[in-house]
Amino acid sequence: MHKVIYDTDPGVDDAMALLFLHRHPEIDLIGITTIFGNASIETTTRNALFLKREWNIAAPVAKGASVTIDPKRHERPWPAMVHGENGLGDMPVPDVIDLPLDPRPAHHFIIETVRANPGEVTLVAVGRMTNLALALKEDPEIAGLVKDVVIMGGNFYVPGNVSPVAEANIHGDPEAADIVMTAPWKVVVIGLDVTAITTMSRSYLGEMAARGDKAVKQLDELSQSYIDFYKHAVEDGMMVHDSCASVYVVAPELFKTITGAVRVVCGGIADGQTVIKQDGRRFPPGDWDGLPSQIVATGIESEKVIGLIRETLLRV
């Protein structure tokens, strides 16, 4: 069993990934930590509690950071055109969910859970990396206690999605992402190189909803406006970014990867760009030297990934 803390900003594709983590038989979802990004921290936390209630998820929810790790950064408007005004495709969601939050802030929840389960916890982070960076700053020793970190974010050999060179999760807090990438733990980066070519059509999701239970039907409902948004890039379908990261936890063999030190550009016109110095490549001395070698996905068996998502979501 893979013990997983899911760090998320629900978010339409976050919701699908959450249901995958909840239903896969080899995953023990031991915590959900929220982060701002697809909406405000109040909204993403409310959404996490809503999905926990609707889908009968036992894992506790801990509220996370509401601002970037560098407070001087100015927040841009929330991406309502992608995820809707309420973050869940504007499906009806109550303003208040009558469930308790874990009393600890997300980064404390991460620290204490990792220390209670040394060498066993996988952090699956599919939003900004702020909670993970805060945990590292407060307790650097957890880097040696985490099993691994699987993130959805970044782009290496393909264009970005919020600028020509940057992906949204990294661009939202580049300083935090650089802290996470350069820490002495195992990071697996599942970025746009693989997620942008892994899509689910409206009809495929609709067929799943017809066969599935209430949770899958809700996924279909909340995904409709998200699919509409993606019409510029996908023919009547959507990219399943966050689910790709969740799939990696149980099926890494479906991904082609390279290794090397990863840095994140902080500031300037390339703000948020992720850059790898691939192992085996020689360069003059520079800012990648002496850093841990991380794992970056560059290829994916998309049809098999989509099939595994389908198989898992239809489990009851």
Active centre residues (catalytic): 9, 241
Both structure tokens of 70: 């560098």
Q: What DSSP element (H or E) covers 187?
A: strand 187-190
Q: How far apart are CA 160 and CA 313, in angstroms?
A: 29
Select from 66, 86, 88, 62 the least CA-distant residue to 6: 62
Sign of torsion over alpha carbons 138, 30, 14, 300: positive
Residues 6+ apart with CB under 8 A from 296: 154, 156, 188, 189, 191, 193, 257, 258, 259, 260, 262, 276
194 half-sphere exposure, CB direction, 13 A CA radius: 30
Tokens of 140: 């650097």
Q: Which of 66, 184, 65, 67 is nearest to 136 (CA)?
A: 184
- CA distances in angstroms from 137 to 10, 67, 113, 183, 189, listed in the order given: 25, 16, 16, 10, 21
Omega of the bond leading into 260 within 30 degrees of 0 (cis): no
Strand partners, 28: 3
127: its two tokens: 């939003």
Q: Which residue has the tokens 């790898």?
A: 276
